[in-house]
Structure 1
Amino acid sequence: MPTTSNPAIRNLLTLDGAVAPAGPSPSGGAVGAAATDRPITLDDIVIKTLAVFGVLTASAFLTVYLELGFLVLPALLAGLGLGIFLALKPRPSAALALLYATAQGVVLGEATQFFDTLYPGVGTRAVIGTGCIFAGMLAAYHTRVVRVGAKATRWAVGTACGLLVLFLADLVASWAFGADLGLRDGGGPAIAVSVVAIAAASYFLLLEFEAADRFLRSGASHRWAWYVAFGLTMTLVWLYLEILRLLSYLRWW
Structure 2
Amino acid sequence: MANPAFSNSPAFAAGAKAVDYSKPISAEELDAMYGRPSATPVDTDRMSYEDTIVKTLVAFGVLLATAVVGWFVPLLMIPGAIAGLVLALVNIFKKQPSRGLILAYAAAEGLFVGGVSNFFATGFGFDIVPQAVFGTLGIVGVTLVLFLNGKVRTSPRMTKIFMVGMIGYAVFSLINFGLVAFGATESIFGLRDVNPIISIGLGILIVLLAAYSLVMDFENVKTGVERGAPRIFGWQAAFGIMVTVVWLYVEILRLIAIFQSSD
TM-score normalised to structure 2 length: 0.82
What amino acid is the match of 1:82?
Answer: L
What amino acid is the match of 2:102?
Answer: A
Query: Does residue 179 of structure 1 match 2:210?
Result: no
What amino acid is the match of 1:12?
Answer: S
1:91-147 superposed Cα distances (whole Å, 9 cap, x missing partner): 321111111111111111111112122222110011111111111101111112122
Q: What is aligned with 2:32?
A: none
The question of whether the paired residues in 1 share the 8 Å contact of 2:154 and 2:216 is answered with yes
Q: What is aligned with 2:36?
A: none
Structure 1 outlier segments of 4+, above 3 Å: 13-23
Q: Which region of structure 1 is more displaced relative to structure 2, 209-218 or 81-90?
A: 81-90
Query: Does residue 62 of structure 1 match 2:69?
Result: yes
Of residues 4, 12, 20, the one that matches 2:9 is 12
Distance 2:245 2:85 in 1: 15
Distance 1:100 1:19, change over 3 A: farther
Of residues 98, 101, 108, the one that matches 1:103 is 108
Larger Rg: 2
**1:52, distance to aligned residue in structure 2 (A):** 0.3
Q: What is aligned with 1:32?
A: none
**1:72, distance to aligned residue in structure 2 (A):** 1.6
Unmatched runs of 5 consecutive residues or more in structure 1: 24-34
Query: Does residue 40 of structure 1 match 2:53?
Result: no
Distance 1:186 1:103 in 2: 32
Of residues 207, 210, 214, the one that matches 2:223 is 214
Query: Does residue 83 of structure 1 match 2:83?
Result: no
**1:46, distance to aligned residue in structure 2 (A):** 0.3
**1:249, distance to aligned residue in structure 2 (A):** 1.9
Task: Number of aligned residue pairs: give it.
Answer: 238
The question of whether the paired residues in 2 share the 8 Å contact of 1:40 and 1:220 is answered with yes
What amino acid is the match of 2:50?
Answer: D
The question of whether the paired residues in 1 share the 8 Å contact of 2:74 and 2:119 is answered with no
The question of whether the paired residues in 1 share the 8 Å contact of 2:91 and 2:97 is answered with no
Q: SS at 2:9's partner residue?
A: helix
Q: What is aligned with 1:72?
A: 77
Q: What is aligned with 1:195?
A: 204
The question of whether the paired residues in 2 share the 8 Å contact of 1:22 and 1:38 is answered with no
Q: What is aligned with 2:256?
A: 247
What amino acid is the match of 2:256?
Answer: L
**1:37, distance to aligned residue in structure 2 (A):** 5.9
1:114-129 alignment to 2 at 5 Å? 114-117=119-122, 118-129=124-135
Q: SS at 2:237's partner residue?
A: helix
The question of whether the paired residues in 1 share the 8 Å contact of 2:11 and 2:233 is answered with no
The question of whether the paired residues in 2 share the 8 Å contact of 1:130 and 1:239 is answered with yes
The question of whether the paired residues in 2 share the 8 Å contact of 1:78 and 1:103 is answered with yes
Q: Which region of structure 1 is more displaced relative to structure 2, 49-58 or 144-153?
A: 144-153
Distance 1:140 1:15, change over 3 A: closer
Q: Which region of structure 1 is more displaced relative to structure 2, 205-214 or 124-133?
A: 124-133
TM-score normalised to structure 1 length: 0.85
**1:251, distance to aligned residue in structure 2 (A):** 2.3
Query: Does residue 133 of structure 1 match 2:139?
Result: yes
* Backbone CA RMSD of aligned residues: 2.6
